Amino acid sequence: MLCYFDNTYGPQMRCSFPPQFIDKPFYDTINRVIIVHKTLCHKMIKFEAKNLIIMGNPVCIVDTVKYDRNQILFNLCFAIEKTANIKSEQMWEPILQKAADYLIELEKECSFISKPNRANDAKLLEEMFKGLTSPKRQCYFQAPLSRTVVALRVSLPYVFETKHLPPDNAVPAFARAPLPTDVNEQDFFNKMDMVSQKVVWVMDGVASIADIAYKAHIPSEIVGRCVKQLIYCGVVVLLPQFLYSNYYYTTEKFAKFVESVVSQEECCRFVRRKKKKPAPEPRDILELYAGLRPSWKLAFWAQHYRPRLFNVDERKLIQFGIFYGIVRKQNVYPVASVAEESELLELCNGSNTVEEIATEMELSSIFLLRCFECSPKVTLLIR
């Protein structure tokens, strides 16, 4: 909903989408929290009312010549149902911030707020609502009255599906290009906090959070919090740790990948091992992916198909497949078959993976898996 301060009637709701979602009696009970004093403007506000969580970024523009009261107050708010399937409220904050900045530019150029046009206001809210709730989770709006302000384009970032910190054995990888470390992205890099600026240089899509913490000389808990924040910003996604002892198999998305020539060509460029040699052919990529089986360790698969003969980096091949959902990793869960008072065997309860146990015990995942395979006291469940 779009709200503003009217010089005659006070705080008013100009329009909302869906229409009548917020009725006037209910708005009158919360309008003083939405249109706030200028000292609270340009800060994120959030409060609960009935079964809704209302978020906004109030704006105050001061102009002693243009406005009767020397200023204008307005606020574009999101009203979110508490029962909605929303992973984190933080993912809406950058959207509201960007929308507020866009409205400020429109107001300065063409008086978008002070000279209301209900058709344009309703169009803006409708585009944002339909776009951000669509599968693409992005919207595009261009104001018809603007000549210099191009358009508003916003999209929801990838959100980590847990409230806990990511595990130390998870591998953060950049989710977009160009990377924050590129020369042309210095503005974005400078806006990061000091920990993020130090951590992003170590992220290569291979090192786990524990490895990054060791290389950057930062506690793993702080690195985990930093990675979680980067996930909220849509910069980073988490991938499972690459090991030749892992089990991988293709998902139902592999059928769409077979039909997509563009995706196959992108994969060929990404998995190319040596730049001096020709890139692999799409048929080679399809054959390698089709050879992944749930019962095979990746080491057996590499010995059988020998991907490096096709100039394919198997690490990047698996990374590409997991990122786009073409490939899925099977986890190995050790279960102790005997009751002994041992810290290691207590963790082998069928709910912890080998990687999680190895991280907890500060051991190598490969070494621990070999010990479990040779031990008659432990049974391995692969699922």
* Residue 86 predicted with pLDDT over 60: no
pLDDT score of 330:
92
Query: Per-residue confidence at 160, pLDDT binned at 50, 70, 90?
Result: very low
Tokens at residue 335, please?
A: 């279960």
Each residue's pLDDT tens digit, 161-177: 445 778 888 999 988 76
If you compute the radius of gyration of the chain from its CA atoms, what whole number of angstroms results? 26
pLDDT score of 286:
96
> DSSP readout, 274-290?
-TTSPPPPHHHHHHHHH
pLDDT score of 158:
46
pLDDT score of 320:
94
Q: Which amino acid is at 61?
A: I
E strand or H helix that includes residue 88:
none
pLDDT score of 161:
47
Q: What percent of the chain has pLDDT over 70?
A: 89
Q: Which long-range contacts (CB under 8 A, 24 or more apart) does 81-87 make?
A: 81/51, 81/52, 81/53, 82/48, 82/51, 82/52, 82/53, 83/51, 87/159, 87/160, 87/161
Query: Per-residue confidence at 153, pLDDT binned at 50, 70, 90?
Result: low
* Residue 68 predicted with pLDDT over 70: yes
Q: Which amino acid is at 355?
A: E
- Most confident of the following: 114-118, 316-320, 363-367: 316-320
What is the DSSP code (8-state) at residue 349?
B
* Residue 150 predicted with pLDDT over 60: no
Each residue's pLDDT tens digit, 163-213: 577 888 899 998 876 677 776 667 667 767 788 888 988 998 889 998 999
Each residue's pLDDT tens digit, 88-113: 566 777 788 888 888 888 888 888 88
Q: Which amino acid is at 182?
A: D
Each residue's pLDDT tens digit, 244-297: 989 999 999 999 999 999 999 999 999 999 989 999 999 999 999 999 998 889
The dihedrals phi and psi of 370, each to the nearest 5 degrees, come to -65, -35
Q: Which of 87, 28, 25, 76 is nearest to 54 (CA)?
A: 76
pLDDT score of 83:
59
* Residue 25 predicted with pLDDT over 90: no
pLDDT score of 250:
95
* Residue 142 predicted with pLDDT over 90: no
What is the residue-averaged pLDDT of the chain? 84
Tokens at residue 310, please?
A: 């096709």
pLDDT score of 260:
93
